[in-house]
Amino acid sequence: MAAVTRGGWEFYGRGERVRGCRNFLLLAKASSTGFAAAAAPLRSLLSPINWNGTEILRRRQLEMSLNLLQNGTLDEVKKIVSILNEAEVPPEDVVEVVVSPPFVFLPLVKSLLRSDFSVAAQNCWVRRGGAFTGEISAEMLINSNIPWVIVGHSERRLLLNESNEFVGDKVAYALLQGLKVIACVGETLEQRESGSTMNVVAAQTKAIADRVSHWENIVLAYEPVWAIGTGKVATPAQAQEARSVNGANCEEQAAQPDVDGFLVGGASLKPEFIDIIKSATVKKK
């Protein structure tokens, strides 16, 4: 996954500085002709998207988002937080770390986690609260001082049938309420093997772009569904297009010119996740 701009990071539009996408994971670095860092077919598919004149440049720090998924008991989550709190990791100007525990542990993790790390929810609903049993609203997260939320994760797209349009609506609503959003896009193994990766990712991205006018609080995370938990790992060369990260390949992946962050799933439950965070230092070498 790659990343781009935030608050004080530089963004350029047509002849003037503008505010643009906070981070782009995979789809990093764009020029006036489209995404320079993405493969040519993807650039051509994304070029019609209205980015409000924004040209995206690489950001200065890496984004490390640790998604604990539906895992962990109270004691296990406390142990993970303890390991994170004691770890010697690069400073905030090198890496931004966001930890995403299950909903029931959000208050606990927020209260225990070191101050230079942030907390994210794993999902939120598409509109204000109401008769939506089991869902969490963006307003609830804001009220609980949770700054980040993950939206459009592959498991919700595939298992809960969340469409591109629905995910786009959720991103837009979360932003409107003041949340920062990690918006996931990515293709399945079947889609990849059929050669439709670029079309799938472009359609998912466009559904968000059609509903969002300001990108400074969005991380667009490319999530190669075919690589998640399968043992399939992209080579460094493939990492410019798609990747799955673990402790063994994190430094090599982070060293790629257009890889600017990782959304870590299963590996966040293992000691190797500290090595993944530390891999951010390769950008400073």
55, 96, 223, 241: which one is catalytic? 223
Is 55 one of the annotated active-site residues of the chain?
no
CA angle 61, 188, 40 (to 5 degrees): 60
Side-chain-facing half-sphere of 46: CA atoms under 13 Å: 28
Q: How far apart are CA 245 and CA 267, in angstroms?
A: 8
C-beta pairs of 7-15 under 8 Å, 24+ apart in sequence: 7/216, 9/57, 9/59, 9/60, 10/57, 11/54, 11/55, 11/56, 11/57, 11/216, 12/54, 12/55, 12/57, 13/52, 13/53, 13/54, 13/55, 14/53, 14/55
Residues 6+ apart with CB under 8 A from 74: 105, 108
96, 153, 162, 187: which one is catalytic? 153
Burial class for 77, CB neighbours closer than 10 Å (0-12, 13-18, 19+): buried
Torsion sign across C-alpha atoms 118, 262, 70, 22: positive
Is 223 one of the annotated active-site residues of the chain?
yes
Identity of the amino acid at 120? A
User: Considering only CA atoms, which of 151, 175, 163 is closest in space to residue 263?
Assistant: 151
Q: Note whether 170 and 140 are within 8 A (CB).
A: no
Q: Note whether 174 and 181 are within 8 A (CB).
A: yes
Identity of the amino acid at 200? V
Residues with a known catalytic role: 153, 223
